[in-house]
Amino acid sequence: MRQWGRPYFKKSSFCSVGTCVEVAIDPERGVRVRDAKLTDGPELSFTPDEWAAFLLGVRAGEFDL
């Protein structure tokens, strides 16, 4: 059940063996990313502009994924 005040983290439906990240859109802190295995662990926070630039880079093949 979702708790109000906490962002909803979503991971890919193609995630396998816990090797995924989860992403949440947080109106107060921007985009938040965390390790799906460590839900109480550290998170990375990005502004909407930073996240958009990252996604553009992924789509353009700028990263060795």
Residue pLDDT, tens place only, 8-37 = 888 887 877 768 889 999 887 799 999 988
Question: With contact defined as beta carbons under 8 Å apart, do 31 and 46 qualify?
Answer: yes
Average of per-residue pLDDT across 44-55: 94
Percentage of the chain modeled with pLDDT above 90: 51
Q: What band does 5 get if pLDDT is binned at 50, 70 and 90?
A: low
DSSP calls for 2-52: PPTTS---B--TT--TT--EEEEEETTTEEEEEETT-TTS-EEEE-HHHHH
Model confidence at 1: pLDDT above 60: no
Question: With contact defined as beta carbons under 8 Å apart, do 36 and 18 qualify?
Answer: yes
